[in-house]
Structure 1
Amino acid sequence: MARDQLDMTPLRSRDELVAWFEAGCKPPSEWRMGTEHEKTPFTLEGHRPVPYEGPRGIGALLEGMKLLLGWEPIMEKGNIIGLYDVTGGGAISLEPGGQFELSGAPVENVHQTQSELMAHLAQVREIATPLGIGFLGLGMTPSWSRADIPVMPKGRYKIMTNYMPKVGQYGLDMMYRTCTVQTNLDFSSEADMVKKLRVSLALQPVATALFANSPFTEGKPNGFLSFRSEIWRDTDNARAGMMPWAFEDGMGFERYVDYALDVPMYFVKRDEDYIDVSGSSFRAFFDGRNNNLPGERPTLSDWANHLSTIFPEVRLKRYLEMRGSDGGPWGRLPALSAFWAGLLYDDVSLDAAWDLVKHWTAPERQSLRDDVPRFGLRAHVRDSSVRELARACLDIARAGLKRRKKYDAKGSDEAVYLAPLERIVRTGVTPAEEMLAKFHGLWGHSVSDVHREYKFDEDAFLEPTLPVASDQLV
């Protein structure tokens, strides 16, 4: 989330919370897609974390981007912490450890997503390269300890940093060492939202496997293909997970409101100050029972900010956020939007995807989600491997994208962006397994080459590849 909400309209009834979600319904002609991605900055010399301060720091990078783009700065206590396009385009924000996030503009098709990413790459390089800064496309920092990583000057992150160790083992790792790519998609009605939410929740582990890209921690294999995904299993389970109740009768906006009301809060923002209310539910705040703000009632701004601190595998706002995938090389990022748009933005595809998962039980969905971080495409649900399931999903997505008939200047439809994922399914080797093979072979049990091979650069749309021997195929 690039900037905290600023609507200070007082909330008076639960119906207003439900209406906030209902306002997101759009006719299919107005559906858009948004792609958000995080990338880890590092010093080109020495491959170290980049501090916020100094002439070659993150603050200087944001100042340079402000001058280049003409976007409005997002300021906090005199520090620039982000940028946004006042014309309704994208936004740039900082994650806790300096991870640099582009929240893309709502666009009509994946071709526009790729164009946006290419433009952003060129813009970032123009400012970052003279500062000696590069960016890494992985789901987790491969070599740094938590102690190595600087803290960005954002008040909400200080509150979260203090709270996280109380509720899970990996919350600080999530905040400071991970990166994701995310696709945001619209819905036309409450029923359409529910169907898309259920399909994308059930199939989120498939995307996790296809994008699994975080096998190293502090220079060594960590035993997982997506350790970023494993981290979310023990970050804060009061606000994360597979939401099994979303598959029960009666699911809708009201049910999600009731869930969100009981999720513990982190903060309330007043002017430029963040008030620590961690651990107290929004329901208590709504009833005027927040101990740090006695008698005060929340605003629409408070509600929207609270919703941004809930972290299920698929998050509902006024659109749906697909949250299961590791960040990765630049050329793979548009594939996530293509994957989910192909499944969810075509009625025939959505029905076919629902047919894949509608008979799964809650324990089966949870077991799949638990197994994928370690086993990737080799995990199973019922009698199918994730590799087989991914192949079926890609077939459905490809057909859906072809029916969308969104063409680029060369006459290609959006299905062209599925190619990196189809290669992964064809070989049965996830991106993490490619890197592990290099670690045990070409890299000589070192991760030092990661910064060269997975750095965003002018060849960013040419993915790093590794010839795969037949005995590596699943």
Structure 2
Amino acid sequence: MTDAAPLSREDLIRAMSKGAKPKDQWRIGAEHEKFGFDRSTLRRPAYEGEGGILAMLTGLQRFGWAPVEEAGYVIALERKNEEGMTASISLEPGGQFELSGAPLKDVHDICNETGQHLMEVKQVADQLNLGFIGAGFDPLWRREDVPVMPKGRYKIMRAYMPKKGSLGLDMMLRTCTIQSNLDFSDEADMVAKFRTSLALQPVATALFACSPFIEGKPSGFLSSRANVWTDTDPDRTGMLDFVFQDGFGYERYADYALDVPMYFAKRGETYVDLSGQSFRRFMTEGLDALPGERATKKDWNDHLTTLFPEVRLKSYLEMRGADGGPWSRICALQALWAGVLYDGAALAAAWDLVKNWDIADHERLRRDVTRLGLKAEVAGRSVRDVAVDMVHIAREGLKNRARFSGGMVDERGYLSELEDIADSGITPADRLLALYNGEWQGDLTRMYRDFAY
């Protein structure tokens, strides 16, 4: 089937199942977003101008990054590594700068890739009087203060989001995340990993909570980013109750995706506004906005990227529950999920932690950790206790993986920060609040000085 050929139901399932691969071919893909800021004003940079996002994208091309254009605008960069795997730098709606890393063999490679990227970004940013900071939610600026990037899909999303929830525009313009992308061997392995990681995603949210401020003041949340997702669009977000039901697999996820209203279809460099319309109808009958056309493989793949549950299935599984943060936690997230999901004994132990939680537990936990972090409770246990167990399981999984760096050190060292967070019960957001109320004396400009990359 070509990308432009009409779709069948089997094609939808194949698009996800094609990612299945033997264990020795599993890879880890890291993604992380960060906020840029003008060092003089702390304002978010616009797309154009001497200190703008376009200047960043242009400057980075000296390191071998190739530009990707849309309607005459450079909106991304791509570069292949020595193994021919592609990494990309892309823009979120408010200019959040994202590295979508290449699929790599281990956390050592991930951390090297991340470090190289941040070094390159800093070299260019220093020349433009820009800085970058990792956090889950913009600590200072209002929606209307944030410049919007010239990507066609974002115009459609910005118009549609307010129809579905009150915080969708905040999601687009004022949040940043770290993500881990992981493989599966077959449908049964996908199901086991999806269920376990989805149940534990709020625990990761608590461990990585790093966004306690909105517009210069404490927000009442430890993860303002995670709270945004509770009121963005109920059609395409959340804990996906059906994942925990008997019979879950590729077909059930395809049915879910078919019933999520569309945003757009891309034709050439033009995004056709299909917001709110049915992909199922697009596939079987067609839509008035595209007369004579039926949905294609590319349309389906594009549509899958517009679903935003806490764990997302494409041809791999995406862990989506962590706030943006410093370099160390970008590496730590990859170690956490690789440790839990890439070792059979660890995966079984992690499922034992969550297998008796019911749907109400999952939904309540997702909301409670936004405010309470590790102090939240689930099924009679504190999230801190669950987090201690989860990180320990990840440590054992990484020990069993036995992936060593050139210095003969395995991947367990990347978990050290998470072990400190879990053992202490103090999230990164708690530490930021302590600084705000203490040493910083309520001056959030200190965050930009003390925590910039």
TM-score where L is the length of structure 2: 0.98
- Output the CA distance in 1 between the equivalents of 2:451 and 2:155: 30
**Quick check: 1:192 aligned with 2:186?**
no
Q: Could you tell me how far 1:330 is from its partner in structure 2?
A: 1.4
- Aligned partner of 1:36 in structure 2 is 31
* Aligned positions, number: 449
- Are the aligned partners of 1:288 and 1:294 in contact in 2 as well (CA < 8 Å)? no
- Aligned partner of 1:74 in structure 2 is 68
- Aligned partner of 2:326 in structure 1 is 329
- Aligned partner of 1:258 in structure 2 is 255
Deviates most, 440-449 or 385-394:
440-449
**Deviations 1:358-397 (CA, angstroms, capped at 9, x unpaired):** 1111111111111100000000011110000000001111
Q: Could you tell me how far 1:46 is from its partner in structure 2?
A: 1.5
- Aligned partner of 1:14 in structure 2 is 9
Q: Map of 1:194-209 to 2, 5 A cutoff?
A: 194-209=191-206
- Output the CA distance in 2 between the equivalents of 1:77 and 1:302: 19
Q: Could you tell me how far 1:295 is from its partner in structure 2?
A: 3.4
- Aligned partner of 2:358 in structure 1 is 361
- Output the CA distance in 2 between the equivalents of 1:267 and 1:243: 23
RMSD (CA atoms): 0.9
Q: 2:215 aligns with which of 215, 218, 241?
A: 218
- Output the CA distance in 1 between the equivalents of 2:318 and 2:72: 31
Q: Could you tell me how far 1:204 is from its partner in structure 2?
A: 0.2
Gaps of 5+ in 1: 1-6, 457-474
- Output the CA distance in 2 between the equivalents of 1:288 and 1:132: 53
Q: Could you tell me how far 1:321 is from its partner in structure 2?
A: 0.2
- Aligned partner of 1:89 in structure 2 is 86
- Output the CA distance in 1 between the equivalents of 2:292 and 2:364: 43
- Are the aligned partners of 1:204 and 1:313 in contact in 2 as well (CA < 8 Å)? yes
- Aligned partner of 2:438 in structure 1 is 441
Q: 1:27 aligns with which of 18, 22, 26?
A: 22
Q: 1:451 aligns with which of 444, 448, 453?
A: 448
- Aligned partner of 2:412 in structure 1 is 415
Q: Map of 1:80-159 to 2, 5 A cutoff?
A: 80-86=74-80, 87-159=84-156
- Aligned partner of 2:270 in structure 1 is 273
- Are the aligned partners of 2:38 and 2:51 in contact in 1 as well (CA < 8 Å)? no
- Output the CA distance in 1 between the equivalents of 2:410 and 2:297: 40
- Output the CA distance in 2 between the equivalents of 1:428 and 1:455: 25
- Are the aligned partners of 1:208 and 1:226 in contact in 2 as well (CA < 8 Å)? yes
- Output the CA distance in 2 between the equivalents of 1:11 and 1:24: 21
Tell me the amino acid that sits aligned with residue 375 of structure 1.
L
Q: Could you tell me how far 1:77 is from its partner in structure 2?
A: 1.3
Deviates most, 215-224 or 358-367:
358-367
- Output the CA distance in 2 between the equivalents of 1:432 and 1:158: 32
- Are the aligned partners of 1:33 and 1:109 in contact in 2 as well (CA < 8 Å)? yes
- Are the aligned partners of 2:139 and 2:444 in contact in 1 as well (CA < 8 Å)? yes
- Output the CA distance in 1 between the equivalents of 2:139 and 2:7: 47
- Output the CA distance in 2 between the equivalents of 1:215 and 1:147: 20
Gaps of 5+ in 2: none
- Output the CA distance in 2 between the equivalents of 1:150 and 1:393: 39
**Deviations 1:194-248 (CA, angstroms, capped at 9, x unpaired):** 0000000000011000000010000000000001000000000100000000111
- Aligned partner of 2:315 in structure 1 is 318
SS, match of residue 137 in structure 2: coil
SS, match of residue 251 in structure 1: coil
- Are the aligned partners of 2:206 and 2:373 in contact in 1 as well (CA < 8 Å)? yes
Q: Map of 1:331-346 to 2, 5 A cutoff?
A: 331-346=328-343
Deviates most, 166-175 or 84-93:
84-93
- Are the aligned partners of 2:286 and 2:295 in contact in 1 as well (CA < 8 Å)? no
- Aligned partner of 2:48 in structure 1 is 53
The percentage of counterpart residues that share the same residue type is 54
- Are the aligned partners of 1:138 and 1:454 in contact in 2 as well (CA < 8 Å)? no
Q: Could you tell me how far 1:73 is from its partner in structure 2?
A: 1.2
Tell me the amino acid that sits aligned with residue 260 of structure 2.
V
